[in-house]
Amino acid sequence: MKVMPCPLNGPRPIQEFTCGGEVVAPPDPDHADAEAWADYLFLHDNAAGVVREWWYHVPTSFWFIADRDTVTDEIVRTFLPRELFGPDAQPDRP
């Protein structure tokens, strides 16, 4: 069984999670053209090696970020979005 270390719930079976895709900055909504949006929506690095992705724990509706190796199937590290995006990125949970 593959285990994902969730920053909120601790180690849980990976079947409880959904991968939300690569962490990429969305285009500036005021200035981005259609091409920039298409790029953001559809094109991926899809790298072989350590990638940084959004992950979601479905039962607790909890988003976090994982560094994961797509060649060895190892999870390197998981952490809260505020580490990348500052304290406003995710409110404290009860």
The contact set with another protein (CB under 8 A) reads: 1-2, 14-15, 18-19, 21, 34-35, 38-39, 41-48, 70-73
- Least distance between another protein and beta carbon 88 (Å): 28
The residue type of 72 is T
- Least distance between another protein and beta carbon 23 (Å): 14
* CA 76 – CA 54 distance, rounded (Å): 14
Torsion, Cα 42 43 48 52, to 10 degrees, reads -70
Nearer to another protein, 18 or 60 (CB): 18
